[in-house]
Structure 1
Amino acid sequence: MRIIISPAKKMKIDTDLMAIAQMPQFINESEQLLSLLQKLSYDELKAMWKCNDAIAEQNVERIQNMNIKANLTPAIYAYEGIQYQYMAPGVFQNEELAYLQQHLRILSGFYGMLRPLDGVTPYRLEMQGKLQGPGFKTLYQFWGSKLADQLQSESNYILNLASKEYSKNILPFLSEETRFITCVFGQMINGKLVEKATWAKMARGEMVRYMAEHKITDVKDVSNFDRLNFAFSEERSDESTYVFIQAEGK
């Protein structure tokens, strides 16, 4: 089984916590993207990032000085979004990290797909970012089937904890033999299931931690997840979607 998650926009450098295990698998593609980014002007980059001046200035400087082979941080420690806060990788035990190194994959617009202990440097490039280059008009075209092919070479069971922005780079290229299961974390509001972004990010992080702590290898065991007052809904779930509903009161 492989678990896929999204990256986070906010990143940090921490070369002291743990050594990287290896370089990313698609480092050559990352070098191509970096070369394209370095040719863009400040205004072009800011427009693509849709951010304020402070964030633009920080990331333009990162791009200009970027060395993707030095001062690297293990990917699971480099991201700082809500999902990663609730995953809390800083307190994983060695056996939990070993489980995640085998089973967890982080999708990325810049790196393609990362194992938790792959070495990364801070970047800003979302999968839906409007970057063009020779032979491609979107990053979805740039990556094509590479990420899905790599995933499926590792396992035919994929648990999707990624956002649609990232999972749609995998879905079109799945073989008939691959079982792809998406987890939905929602609340019942006026009789309808509603997935709120912040709670979903929190739950995805908690789910990764839950799976690591319990060393889950059978996807069916995911249905026992009960953190943040979520509970599996057999009634609303099917073979391709596992629905978890949050109890009122939280």
Structure 2
Amino acid sequence: MRIIISPAKKMKTDTDFLGCRRLPQFLSESEALLALLKKLSDEELKSIWKCNDAIAALNVERIRNMNLTRSLTPALMSYEGLQYQYMAPGVLQTGELEYLQQHLRILSGFYGMLRPLDGVVPYRLEMQAKLDGAGFDSLYEFWNRKLADQLFSESGCILNLASKEYSKCISPYLGADIQMVTCVFGQQIGGKVIEKATPAKMARGEMVRFMAERQIGCVEDIKGFTGLDFGFADGLSNESTYVFLQKSHGRKG
């Protein structure tokens, strides 16, 4: 089984807490994207990033000085989004980190696909960013089926905890021999299951930690997840979609 998750926009450098295991698998592709980004003007980069002036300035500086083999942080420790906060990788035990190194894959517009302990530098490049180059009109075209082929070579069972923006790199290439289960973390409102971004991100992080702590090897065993007051909704789920409903709606988000 392989678990796929999205990256986060906010990143940090931490070269002291935990050592990197290896370089990313698709580093040559990242080098090609970096070369393309370096050719763009500050305004063109800001347009691609869709961000304010302060964030643009920070990331322009990163692009201009970026070296993909120095001052590296393990990917799992580098991302700072809500999902990663609830995953809490900094307090995981060695065996739990080894579980994630084997089973968890982080999809990325810039790096393609990362193992948790791959060394990365902070970057900003969402998969749906309007970036084009020789032979491609989008990052989806740039990566094509490379990420899916690598993922399927590792396992025939995929647990999808990624957003639609990122799972779109994988889902079009599914074959009959691959099982992909997508988790929905929602609330039942007016007879419909509504998935809100904030609690869904929190739940995805909690689910990854739940799996690491229990060393889960069979996708069906995640049905026991009860973090953040979510519970498996058998009647709303099927073989390809597991629905978890949050019992209390009074939470923020």
TM class by shorter chain equals over 0.9
TM-score (norm 1): 0.99
Q: 1:133: Cα distance to partner? A: 0.6
Q: Does 1:209 align with 2:209?
A: yes
Q: 2:176 maps to which residue?
A: 176
How many Å separate the matches in 2 of 1:154 and 1:63?
A: 32
Partner of 1:235: 235
2:107 is aligned with 1:107:
yes
- Which residue type is aligned with residue 138 of structure 2? T
* Unmatched segments (≥5 aa) in structure 1: none
Q: Distance in 2 between matches of 1:176 and 1:29?
A: 29
Give the Cα–Cα distance (whole angstroms) in 2 for the partners of residues 38 and 57 of structure 1.
Answer: 14
Structure 1 position 32, deviation (Å):
0.2
The residue type paired with residue 19 of structure 1 is: G
Tell me what 1:59 maps to: 59
Equivalent-residue separation in structure 2 for 1:115 and 1:202 (angstroms): 21
CA–CA distance in structure 1, aligned partners of residues 60 and 101 of structure 2: 31
CA RMSD of aligned residues (A): 0.6
2:84 paired residue number: 84
Residue 49 of structure 1 aligns with an amino acid whose one-letter code is: W
- Aligned partner of 1:166 in structure 2 is 166
| Residue of structure 1 equivalent to 2:116 | 116
What is the SS of the residue equivalent to 2:234? coil
Deviations 1:120-143 (A, max 9, x none): 000000000011111000000000
Q: CA deviation at 1:65?
A: 0.0
In 1, Cα distance between the equivalents of 2:175 and 2:239? 16
Is residue 21 of structure 1 aligned with residue 21 of structure 2? yes
Aligned to 2:41: 41
2:198 equivalent in structure 1: 198
Aligned pairs, number: 250
Structure 2 match to 1:136: 136
State the SS of the aligned residue for 2:236. coil
Q: Secondary structure at the match of 1:90?
A: helix
Which amino acid is the alignment partner of residue 247 of structure 1?
K
Alpha-carbon deviations, 1:92-115, whole Å to 9, x = none?
100000000000000000000000
Q: Write the deviation string for residues 143-174 of structure 1: whole angstroms up to 9, x where unpaired.
A: 00000000000000000000000001101111
Report the TM-score, using the length of structure 2 for normalisation: 0.98
Q: Classify the secondary structure of the residue corresponding to 1:105.
A: strand
Give the superposition deviation at 1:49.
Answer: 0.7
Deviation at residue 201 of structure 1 after TM alignment: 0.1
- Per the TM alignment, residue 175 of structure 1 is displaced from its structure 2 partner at its CA by 1.7
Is 1:151 aligned with 2:130? no
SS at match of 1:235: helix
In 1, Cα distance between equivalents of 2:23 and 2:81:
22
What's the counterpart of residue 6 of structure 1?
6
User: Where does structure 2 lack aligned partners over 5 or more consecutive residues?
Assistant: none
